[in-house]
Amino acid sequence: MIRAQIVGATGYGGVGMVELLIRHPEIRLTSLLAVSDVGKPLSAFYPHLRGYCDQVVEEAKPERVGQDADLVIFSTPDRVGMGYANELVDRGLRILDYSGDFRFETPALYEWYAKAHPNIAGKPHLAPGLFDRSVYGVPELNRSRIREASVVGNPGCFAVAMILSLLPAIKAGLIDPRSIISDGKTGISGAGKKPSATNHFPERNESVTPYRVASHQHVYETVAALEAVAGEKVGITFVPHLVPLTRGIIVTSYATLRQDVSEAEIQAVYEETFAGEPFVRVLPAGSTPGPKAVAGSNLCDVSIAVDAENGRLIMVGSIDNLMKGQAGVALQNINLMFGFPETTALERSPIYP
């Protein structure tokens, strides 16, 4: 039985992990740490968990982090997990981190990201010695390395949808990787639990809002991951939009086709790339994915279409941002890290309507 601790247990990302782990036969939640809402059962803040997880939330004191645990899950902002990582890894613990701290494979890539991220402002990585022992947690890209890693950097929600929908086309050289435009739409839970003027119900309802136009932080890890696949420069113009959903992400991407290739051939490339993947469904030609068909599950649905007149490929990917975009992919990574069947506690079909 693996002992797991969640740091940042009271945000949506932490609670999503709790919802999954209470059904996991091989992992036991030994402690829930947070900086606010401490001293009461988790179910006092999240009444849906009454009777399912009445464990008391403890203050995230530094000395408590990593106690009674084989695995520490950091559901925390950038720069928190990396502050603990060296010591925890030295002690033989393994880490799953939700932030950007361990999503980049080299110091140079992290620096590139850190300079562009407004909250990091170019500060240096705090655990540079771990670049060799950490991996970017997209199982479809890095499955075998995730199995061995001490630290897994869980991917950003938009990045998951972008990478999986672009990957086969990039890998097969079908598109010009500098011509990519990705238009994202996200539900509001992606902004987390903290209320804001932007996401106050009356402001958000009946509203669609582009934000961080061409400057969203998830584009960096996407470009880095796809360049490793492409072996050449990748350029993505990415504009995310807030849409009035609670859960769900859909990204529609556009790129210039490099060759005269039919929709059927591209469809075949996609199906082949993801054959055997437990959580990626390539939809049949003519259909398109959406958050409704993946809600509550760890699935990513992907579709393609060709705009022959303009010589472009249109690729669409959709996930539940709190599952395949956060806690779900995190558990998929954890299952890999500890040698459990990859789908353990993730078997549930989407919930509809």
Residues 40-59 that bind its own copies (CB under 8 A): 46-53
Residues 174-213 that bind its own copies (CB under 8 A): 178, 181, 183, 185, 187-189, 193-197, 199-211, 213
Stretch that binds its own copies, among 67-75, 79-87, 224-232, 237-245 (CB under 8 A): 237-245
Other beta carbons within 10 angstroms of residue 126's beta carbon come to 16
Instruction: State how far the Cα of 244 lies from the Cα of 204, in Å rounded to an integer.
Output: 6
Residues facing 249 on adjacent strands? 186, 319
- Closest-CA residue to 317 (of 251, 237, 259): 251
Stretch that binds its own copies, among 26-34, 140-148, 168-176, 281-289 (CB under 8 A): 281-289
Nearer to its own copies, 98 or 238 (CB): 238
Separation in Å, CA 39 to CA 31, 35, 57, 73: 12, 10, 6, 20
The reply to whether 77 sits near its own copies by the rule CB under 8 A is no
Q: Which residues are catalytic?
A: 157
- Closest-CA residue to 42 (of 57, 29, 61): 57
Enter the tokens of residue 250: 């859909």
- Which positions from 248 to 267 touch its own copies by CB under 8 A, shown as an x/- string? x-x-x-x-------------
Residues 92-121 that bind its own copies (CB under 8 A): none
Stretch that binds its own copies, among 3-11, 57-65, 134-142, 292-300 (CB under 8 A): 292-300
Enter the tokens of residue 37: 């809402």
Q: Which DSSP helix (H) or strand (E) runs through 85?
A: helix 81-90
Q: How far is the CB of 12 from its own copies (least distance, A)?
A: 7
Q: How far is the CB of 7 from its own copies (least distance, A)?
A: 20
Nearer to its own copies, 268 or 308 (CB): 308
Residues 130-159 that bind its own copies (CB under 8 A): none
Distance of CA 147 to the CA centre of its chain: 17
Alpha carbons within 13 A on the beta-carbon side of 197: 0
- Closest-CA residue to 312 (of 255, 268, 264, 270): 255
In contact, 53 and 42? CB cutoff 8 Å? yes
Residue in 294, 300, 302, 329 binding its own copies, rule: CB under 8 A: 294
Q: Which amino acid is at 152?
A: V
Stretch that binds its own copies, among 84-92, 123-131, 236-244, 268-276 (CB under 8 A): 236-244
Number of residues forming the site for its own copies (CB under 8 A): 83
The reply to whether 1 sits near its own copies by the rule CB under 8 A is no
The reply to whether 314 sits near its own copies by the rule CB under 8 A is yes
